[in-house]
Amino acid sequence: EQSGELTGLLRVRSMTMNDAHIYCSPEQAKAEFIKVMNLHTEYYKLFGLSDFWMRLSLAEEDTGKFLDEPELWKKAEMLVTEAMDEVGIPYEAVRGEAAFYGPKIDFQVTNVVGREETASTNQLDLVMGKRFGLTYIASDNEEHTPIIIHRAPLGTHERFVAFLIEHYGGAFPTWLAPVQVRVIPVASAFNEYAQRLNDNLFGTFVRSELDDSNDSFSKKIRSAAIAKIPNLLIVGENEQADQTVTWQRYGSKDRQTLAFDEFRSLFQDEILQRRDWRISVQV
């Protein structure tokens, strides 16, 4: 990269992409393309992303940027346009933004500095199959070149993580948070009980940690808030005696005391269902 081109996680020296290729016949192409579009939107719904728009990226003539196969381009662009119209997702058609081998649908977002970025993409390729000599035997017992769909519903992982950090402001829902819960004893006398709880959670694949530092209780709470830990388990004399925990969510002053086994059951179900309690409360 040239000086000044790297930008945090949005543009990195090396990247990871969950890219996949679907090989299909012309009769299958539209239905498969629509399935991939639905896969994209399902992911966006899961992550709570709604501030995005679709760009139908098409070729531009006489630029030397795209493969010179005008008839194939015409077919590909028609197929993608029909698929988008059939799905009923609003989009904007833009010339000159296609991949060199075919049209594509780009999921566009605006980052915190106002710059437009492509978060993920779904591409139709009628050209590279021929170049690589790919063939299949169709129902007419003849060889045909497959249509290739290039799909990456999460785009490059580094860039998508950047979008998620911006979207959530670092305050991730429990299922997505790097640290899902922090156990905080109110005094060192309750460290052993807190450690048992932390070990129990960690042993059931919950990303938990224990704050057994010598900091004051108020500083422990403040440090967890600064780190945007989504869940705190506060334990003291009453909790230890009753085998309970006091549960506090990030961004909320409310605290709920309940049996540890009940908390663990509720907590694991929230993670498994990938729920965001903040959205549930708003509804």
Cα–Cα distance for residue pair 270/265, rounded to 1 Å? 9
Q: What is the pLDDT of residue 13?
A: 84
Highest mean pLDDT among 94-98, 111-115, 193-197: 193-197
Cα dihedral 57, 58, 61, 67 in deg (nearest 10): 100
pLDDT band of 62, cuts 50, 70, 90: low
Q: What is the pLDDT of residue 281?
A: 47
Element (H, E) at 57: strand 53-58
Contact 198, 210 (CB under 8 A): yes
**Amino acid at position 37, single letter:** M
Q: What is the pLDDT of residue 181?
A: 98
pLDDT band of 283, cuts 50, 70, 90: very low
Q: What is the pLDDT of residue 192?
A: 97
pLDDT greater than 70 at residue 269: yes
Domains of the chain: 20-168 (3.30.930.10), 174-282 (3.40.50.800)
pLDDT band of 63, cuts 50, 70, 90: low
259 or 95, greater pLDDT: 259
Contact 105, 97 (CB under 8 A): no
Q: What is the pLDDT of residue 98?
A: 83
Q: What is the pLDDT of residue 182?
A: 98
Mean pLDDT in residue range 62-81? 78
Residue pointed to by tokens 């004399």? 237
Cα–Cα distance for residue pair 103/172, rounded to 1 Å? 34
Nearest C-alpha neighbor of 36 from the set 77, 66, 80: 80
Residue 45, both tokens: 């719904």
pLDDT greater than 80 at residue 155: yes
Cα dihedral 268, 273, 276, 277 in deg (nearest 10): -60
Contact 118, 107 (CB under 8 A): yes
> What's the pLDDT tens digit per position in 164-200?
998 899 999 999 999 999 999 999 999 999 999 999 9
pLDDT band of 280, cuts 50, 70, 90: low
> What's the pLDDT tens digit per position in 21-44?
999 998 999 999 999 999 988 998
